[in-house]
Amino acid sequence: MGHAPNLLVIGAGLTGLSASMQLRRKGQPHRLLEASASAGGLARTVTEAGYSFDCTGHLLHLRNPQMAELIRELLGDENLLQIERRSAVYSHGAFTPYPFQANVYGLPKELAFRCLSDFVSAHFQQPKPEIVTFEDYCIAHFGRAMSEAFMVPYNEKVWGVHPRELAATWCERFVPRPTLEEVLRGAVGLPNPAIGYNARFVYPRRGMGMLVDALLERANPVELVTPVSAIDLERRTLRAGNNEVPFDQLLSTMSLSSLFRQLTPLPAEVQQAASELRAVDLHYLDVALNTPVELPYHWVYVPEPEIPFYRVGAYSTFSRLMAPTAKASLYVELASKTAPALGQVLPAVADALTQMGIIRGRDAIRFARLRRIPNAYVLYDSRRERALSVLHAFLSEHRIHSVGRYGAWEYSSMEDALWAGQCAAQTLLTEGSS
């Protein structure tokens, strides 16, 4: 190998690809190292027998005009479907339009009344209660009955811990807070304007992998199957696959917890802070149907504890190119935080999908694959912020940049990943020239 470039980007997910594209545009040499056999990270799309699957529902909710423009430039308007959300909550045997808190009219009457009455009490409560945990947030803003009927059981299935163990900080952007008027309208079945960050979304015709492919054309070539390990802070070298490589500048998008497992030497308090980072894995199913889906929704939220998944959606309702004609490709996000056996979980999933009216019976399933996203959801617990401040201070002392959803250890979107990659590239360029 010739002279080793001194700027390394670790991970070719959206953050790493976006950073590499930006560095390349500015003529900055660098290497882009990826542990797995394909690029894209969580934005990958896989295709089997004509059915395409993203890594569960991946939809573009664009808030940043610069990123919206970038995505148009990368994919072209003709490849971007503009879609209005059709989603529902399946609870107490009924479908209510999402968000639950603004549409209680479909629930059994006694429950709908309690939801409404507790919402109104919470709305007018004075003085306002202190909000520390996510459970406090739900009870303060939606009242106890809605929290117990939807917010708490649903989020317990997603996060694998009770909302009282989570801080309220992550949810302002993602948990819609309807007004009193919207709740009242929804309680008597009047339509509301679309509510929430995901009311409209953009979807590439052939799945999110199209975005990855467009970035790959503009980024540096990805060195696949090249996991980075053993990062020596004193010598400023690391292992990339089987080689030892020196570095001056480092941009990491692997998870912060993995990064700290690779760094040496580490002071005890930094090791302690790294051990405090908590996240849960997500196990989900790619499901190929012989039939179309029978329901008019893109996806459905399922708080019911006895159903083994918390959300089910159909890629083929986002774009018909995601499945063969008159068939469907689904994602089913399982509540279990430990790896289930496909042979055991699939019959239960098929029966629940049948009960919900999404399929007519187990025979509708042509094939299913069990997938895992390690550390899918970072837990915003009471120790996260303090641990992050210790870890980021340590990284900045050693001039290492750790960004992206898992590099920053946060709950964030694909748009945020593209933006984080661009900003990090800019920082590296400035740092390199000073």
Contact footprint for ligand FAD (CB under 6 A): 10-16, 33-36, 41-43, 56-61, 227-228, 253-254, 258, 282, 373, 376, 404-406, 412-415, 417
- Pairing state of beta strands 222-223 and 228-232? unpaired
- Pairing state of beta strands 45-48 and 51-54? antiparallel
Which of 303, 407 has the CB closer to ligand FAD? 407
Which of 10, 166 has the CB closer to ligand FAD? 10
Which of 144, 239 has the CB closer to ligand FAD? 239
What is the rounded distance in angstroms from the CA atom of residue 426 to the CA atom of residue 309? 41
Contact yes or no for 335/219 (Cβ under 8 A): no
Packed helices 414-433 and 65-75: angle between N→C axes, nearest 10 degrees = 100
What is the rounded distance in angstroms from the CA atom of residue 35 to the CA atom of residue 102? 44
**CB of 424: closest distance to ligand FAD in angstroms?**
10
Which of 72, 92 has the CB closer to ligand FAD? 72
What is the rounded distance in angstroms from the CA atom of residue 90 to the CA atom of residue 47? 29
Helix (H) or strand (E) holding 7: strand 7-10
**CB of 338: closest distance to ligand FAD in angstroms?**
17
Which of 156, 415 has the CB closer to ligand FAD? 415
**CB of 291: closest distance to ligand FAD in angstroms?**
25
What is the rounded distance in angstroms from the CA atom of residue 385 to the CA atom of residue 409? 10
Give the list of residues 6+ apart from residue 290 with CB closer than 8 angstroms, or none. Answer: 327, 363, 364, 365, 366
**CB of 407: closest distance to ligand FAD in angstroms?**
6
**CB of 201: closest distance to ligand FAD in angstroms?**
8
Closest by CA position to 151, among listed 57, 187, 197, 162: 162
Encoded amino acid at 218, one letter:
R
Which of 381, 410 has the CB closer to ligand FAD? 410
Ramachandran area for residue 357 (φ above 0: left; ψ -120 to 50: alpha; else beta): left
**CB of 170: closest distance to ligand FAD in angstroms?**
13
Which of 71, 107 has the CB closer to ligand FAD? 71
Question: ∠ at Cα 343 (338, 344), nearest 5°?
Answer: 60
Q: 284 - beta bridge partners? A: 333, 371
**CB of 122: closest distance to ligand FAD in angstroms?**
29
Which of 215, 293 has the CB closer to ligand FAD? 215
Which of 23, 60 has the CB closer to ligand FAD? 60
**CB of 198: closest distance to ligand FAD in angstroms?**
7
CA within 13 Å, CB half, 256: 31
- Residue listed under structure tokens 């959606």: 313
**CB of 213: closest distance to ligand FAD in angstroms?**
14
- Report the greatest alpha carbon distance in the chain: 74
Contact yes or no for 199/210 (Cβ under 8 A): no
What is the rounded distance in angstroms from the CA atom of residue 411 to the CA atom of residue 55? 16
